[in-house]
Chain A
Amino acid sequence: GIQVEQSPPDLILQEGANSTLRCNFSDSVNNLQWFHQNPWGQLINLFYIPSGTKQNGRLSATTVATERYSLLYISSSQTTDSGVYFCAAYNTDKLIFGTGTRLQVFP
């Protein structure tokens, strides 16, 4: 089956710093989503991005489907950005999650 890998596994930032999270997938996918899991476990949709670039405030994402990767950019990070970031890729009708990047932002 499809493999979805994320890097880095852990990231520690000071408030105000920028970061880039990467998601690689091993096979063609129908689509890709980015999620943020907050400390209470809730999964929040960030982007639904099969290709191209999208922006939402301080966050943006780019997917290059032909090269099988997606990037999530966080600019001017805040302590509330802390948590685990997942990418998930669709393979036919199933969403397969990556291993996640745990982000800690300190004041």
Chain B
Amino acid sequence: SQTIHQWPATLVQPVGSPLSLECTVEGTSNPNLYWYRQAAGRGLQLLFYSVGIGQISSEVPQNLSASRPQDRQFILSSKKLLLSDSGFYLCAWNRQGSGNTIYFGEGSWLTVV
């Protein structure tokens, strides 16, 4: 069966420090991969998605970047965090193709202080 893991689960970082969140998927190959952010409140905003190694699409201009160094690995990074980067970050995957079921990781709580 397929599983998705992301880490760390929780982190508190000072303003101006770097960030690296990692996500891996097991049990499948060539998945679509996604990073979402949920700020205070309830909405989920799509940040990045990837349909293959090295292929990253950015949905909104921001202080963050994403990379996909391996087929089932998706990394969210920042060189210098801002207070506004605080939030709940969720990695997700689904199979290639049109509109397949999407599955989410456990999420990472980021607080920038």
A, B in one complex? yes
Binding site for B on A (CB under 8 A): 29-31, 33, 35, 37, 41-43, 45, 48, 50, 84, 86, 88, 90, 92-97, 99-100, 102
A42-B106, A90-B98, A94-B49 known; A99-B34 Cβ under 8 A: no
A93 to B51, CA, bound (A): 9
Query: Shortest 6 CB-CB distances between A and B: which pairs?
Result: A31-B99, A30-B99, A100-B42, A90-B99, A97-B44, A43-B104
User: Chain A contacts of B42 at CB under 8 A?
Assistant: 37, 84, 86, 99-100, 102
Please state if A93 and B49 are interface contacts (CB–CB under 8 Å): yes
Instruction: Give the size category of B's interface with A.
Output: 20 to 34
Taking the closest CB of chain B, its distance from the CB of A105, in whole angstroms, is 17
User: Chain A contacts of B39 at CB under 8 A?
Assistant: none
Q: Which residue in chain A gives the minimum CB-CB distance to B108?
A: A41
User: Chain A contacts of B88 at CB under 8 A?
Assistant: 41
Binding site for A on B (CB under 8 A): 32, 34, 36, 38, 42-46, 49, 51, 59, 88, 90, 92, 94, 98-104, 106-107, 109
Taking the closest CB of chain B, its distance from the CB of A8, in whole angstroms, is 13
Please state if A48 and B43 are interface contacts (CB–CB under 8 Å): no
21 interchain pairs, CB-CB under 8 A: A30-B99, A31-B100, A33-B101, A35-B104, A41-B88, A42-B104, A43-B90, A43-B104, A45-B103, A50-B99, A86-B42, A88-B44, A88-B102, A90-B98, A93-B49, A93-B51, A94-B49, A95-B46, A95-B94, A97-B44, A97-B45
